[in-house]
A and B are shown apart, each in its own frame.
Chain A
Amino acid sequence: MLALGAAASALPRFAVADADTDARFVLVILRGALDGLAAVPPYGDSGYAGQRGQLAITALDHRLDGLFALNPAFGNLYARYQAKELVVLHAVASPYRERSHFDGQDLLENGTTNPLGKRDGWLNRVLPALPYHTRQSEKVAVALSQNVPLVLRGDERVGSWAPSQLPAADSDTLDRLADLYSSDPILANRLQSALSANDMAGGGSAMGGGTRDPLGQLDAIASAAGRLLAPANGSRIAVIELTGWDTHANQGSNEGQLFNRLQALDRGLETLRTSLGPAWSRTAIMVVTEFGRTVAVNGTRGTDHGTATCSFLVGGAVAGGRVVADWPGLAKSSLYQGRDLQPTTDLRSVFKGVLTAHLHAKETDLNQRVFPDSSSAKAIDGLIKA
């Protein structure tokens, strides 16, 4: 498409994919604290119906086992579960134990035990340790947003892409800007990364009107993610962020506000699966949020900030069809600080399980550089098909 794009594509490229560099990983971050007890209701827990009152999910067509079901919004995800491509995790949490969204997200993404522990993200720090290191990092990892979320920020250059309603700038102007930026490495790198991502996503325009619903563009984003990840020389790691999960008031139960959002998420993940085509079989998608919500309903038919929640691991490469949860129970005495679902699984253990088995990262790298001081959080085995 552009002069710069052409120059970039003339650089060495490894067209022949092999098993080691074929794996795709997508991280979906739900910002605002997803209510795990609504997304994956523990209907078989004797405390659930009573504690949850009018917010308890009672439409239980998507039963996973005698204890858990998927929210009725998750029709496509349930099909993935039946196809043994979905692992549902529950009572998970990052090491964060306070209740600020913003610190919670920072810690989830920086991979430490402190919101200010690091200024870069664990998914950026892991890049040099992956078998793709012979390729330009901005072609390996891409954020499906205009700006790069913390989890993917850092020393390694990464790409970013978002739907655009603007006409593309002409290549002559872009060449002149590349020259103008030659004494400004930050802008020069950003421009080059953007152009290569734009080439691969198939251009930016014609994505339709921007809708107000924060999940409204998820279909466009998921399609583009598939196009970026599917090719043999395409990206291998993508991050998608979705806001709007902070359901303090009127969150609904079998239908309503949260149901609608979960349904949009379910559809978006299905779009991503379709868009990936055959590459789906080599893909693992992880859906995470910064923390969960209170077990009890608050005074405005919603829930306040809590602690543990659920998480999903889905994809053709996932050894699925099961729930991974060391269930702490919802009895009042079992709750964290008497109000929240007690965390029993460290999210870092899940990340490590995926990064080692799927992306072939070394556990020593993960314990030291990627998730500093995390050796107590052992990788969970068996999440990925052998």
Chain B
Amino acid sequence: MTIDNVIATNRFGLGARPGELDQVAGDPKGWLAQQIKGSRPSPPEIGALPNSAAVFRVYEESRQQQQQSKREAAVADPEEAKKKFMAVRKAVAPIYLDQVAARYEIAVKSTESFRERLVHFWTNHFAVSADKPQVVALAGTLENEAIRPHLAGSFTDLLLAVESHPAMILYLDNQASIGTDSKAAKRFAHRANAEGRKLGINENLAREILELHTLGVNGGYTQADVTSFARVLTGWSIGSDRGPLAAGETGKFFFRDNAHEPGAQTVLGKRYAEDGEGQARAVLRDLAKHPATATHVATKLVRHFISDDPPPDAVTRIAKVFRDSSGQLTEVHQAVIDLAPAWRPEFAKYKTPHEFVVSTLRSVDLVPPKPQQIFASFQLLGQRPFTPGSPAGWPDTAAQWDGPDALLKRIEWAAQFGDRIGAKVKPLEVAAASLGQSLSDRTRTAISRAVSAAQGVTLLLASPEFMRR
């Protein structure tokens, strides 16, 4: 008896739903392979949500109103200012919660959970964090607008979509990065109220594209490359209908020609002629095809599917497919399915809180009815959705997730979940349908001896084999 169906649904997928192990058993690899080909219609849960431009407008309008009332009241009281700030957050908080609810409803219900895992993987690769006020409700739109549509396309298209998305531009401050010799900077310098302030570049987006999205930290770039790439990226901004920067379509990507640093730039030894918006596209296209990018992406994929210490052979293999296919993601993802070590029976990966909660909900086919309930689980376990806190994304190694207190919190959460659902399920059946042949005798015995169904569920969820994949 093989456990390939358990591996396909739990290691590649997001956890087996009731009945899924049997459906997959005939052809686990074929089940995975069909998920990564072609495009999919946008899930209906997402269709009901406002897009990034709409979210941006809600945020901006609320912010303007608050500033207006602040000016009118002329408040200098910091407490009052804080309240107003929280009010701006409140305007976008319901959107954020709806996005979280939609994301996890899709994750729990999906019959293509490998594809869904890959969506999460790439969202985390191109991480933005919703703890920055402007990004609170934009983070979720990046996944839906830039990641999902490109999952079976090329890495180049994915990269271009992500770096020009409003969430990324705002998260890494590029909307206000201005070339020192640009028209906008020169005009500003002559303004009476410039007060010695100079407009200039902000390196943040350029650095993180090189370090995190493409080449990787040891990918061979220098500080000079960061600076010149930042100049190339000046002008990549967001449209707005207010203030001195009013131009473009509000909340959508907009190239501000007057903020762009004029002239050719050299990045990684190659000269890029002045081409306005196209100059950055040219650099991004070259970065996407760079061999260091292939290795960087391959290392992260292998770490995600095989082991915290990625085996070099597997990395070499995926990197080769990435290069040979010019980053065609279907081929790259297929190569991951084809890696023999990805099918080792040992569960080498410790689940993140995100994976732990999603696989739990899938095991009993439950979507908590209120968005706040879904959000609270992740909050309590230390992985609030869309808030990795840094552009590096959530860590993908056990050391960052298996702390003693984190385990206790997981057990406490499992106990609470067991209390809530115990009366409705038979724990041994849930265990068999979720873990199949990989359920250990020890865990089966413990569940069968539990004093209540609630305790049985808790023991299953907290068991070594359910904590890992």
A169-B412, A249-B173 known; A299-B202 Cβ under 8 A: yes
A153-B399, A177-B411 known; A184-B446 Cβ under 8 A: no
Residues of A within 8 A of B200 (CB): 297-299
* Contact between A302 and B403, CB atoms less than 8 A apart: no
- A-B residue pair count with CB separations less than 8 angstroms: 176
Chain A nearest CB, measured from B358 CB (Å): 18
**In the assembled complex, A272 has its CB within 8 A of some CB on chain B:** no
Report the separation of the CA atoms of residues A197 and B199 in the bound assembly, to the nearest whole angstrom: 51
* Contact between B380 and A166, CB atoms less than 8 A apart: yes
**In the assembled complex, B401 has its CB within 8 A of some CB on chain A:** yes
Residues of B within 8 A of A169 (CB): 408, 411-412, 414-415, 458
Which of B412, B455, B463 meets A166, CB within 8 Å? B412
**In the assembled complex, B277 has its CB within 8 A of some CB on chain A:** no
Chain B nearest CB, measured from A266 CB (Å): 15
**In the assembled complex, B121 has its CB within 8 A of some CB on chain A:** no
Which of A180, A195, A212 meets B464, CB within 8 Å? A180
* Contact between A53 and B197, CB atoms less than 8 A apart: yes
* Contact between B197 and A54, CB atoms less than 8 A apart: yes
* Contact between A100 and B455, CB atoms less than 8 A apart: no
Interface set, chain B 205-233, CB cutoff 8 A to A = 207, 211, 217, 223, 226
* Contact between B207 and A181, CB atoms less than 8 A apart: no
* Contact between A302 and B173, CB atoms less than 8 A apart: yes
**In the assembled complex, A102 has its CB within 8 A of some CB on chain B:** yes
Chain B nearest CB, measured from A200 CB (Å): 12
* Contact between A180 and B442, CB atoms less than 8 A apart: yes
* Contact between A150 and B399, CB atoms less than 8 A apart: yes
A176-B459, A300-B202 known; A249-B176 Cβ under 8 A: yes
Chain A nearest CB, measured from B210 CB (Å): 10
**In the assembled complex, B443 has its CB within 8 A of some CB on chain A:** yes
Report the separation of the CA atoms of residues A32 and B451 in the bound assembly, to the nearest whole angstrom: 48
* Contact between A147 and B401, CB atoms less than 8 A apart: yes
Chain A nearest CB, measured from B423 CB (Å): 17
Chain A nearest CB, measured from B355 CB (Å): 15
Which of B173, B180, B405, B464 meets A147, CB within 8 Å? B405
**In the assembled complex, A9 has its CB within 8 A of some CB on chain B:** no
Residue from the set A99, A150, A173 with the largest chain B CB neighbour count within 10 Å = A173
Closest chain B residue to A101, Cβ basis? B390
* Contact between A298 and B399, CB atoms less than 8 A apart: no
B side interface size, CB within 8 A: 59
Closest chain A residue to B201, Cβ basis? A299
Chain A nearest CB, measured from B313 CB (Å): 19
Residue from the set A148, A212, A302 with the largest chain B CB neighbour count within 10 Å = A212
Report the separation of the CA atoms of residues A172 and B458 in the bound assembly, to the nearest whole angstrom: 12
Report the separation of the CA atoms of residues A138 and B411 in the bound assembly, to the nearest whole angstrom: 20
Interface set, chain A 323-358, CB cutoff 8 A to B = 337
* Contact between A183 and B415, CB atoms less than 8 A apart: no
Chain A nearest CB, measured from B52 CB (Å): 20
Which of B207, B390, B413, B463 meets A180, CB within 8 Å? B463
**In the assembled complex, A191 has its CB within 8 A of some CB on chain B:** yes
**In the assembled complex, A103 has its CB within 8 A of some CB on chain B:** yes
Residues of B within 8 A of A103 (CB): 217
Residues of A within 8 A of B95 (CB): none
* Contact between A32 and B390, CB atoms less than 8 A apart: yes
Interface set, chain B 268-294, CB cutoff 8 A to A = none
Other A-B pairs beyond A189-B404, A249-B173, 16, CB < 8 Å: A31-B390, A102-B211, A143-B403, A147-B399, A148-B399, A158-B404, A166-B413, A167-B415, A169-B415, A180-B459, A187-B467, A191-B411, A194-B407, A197-B405, A198-B405, A298-B201
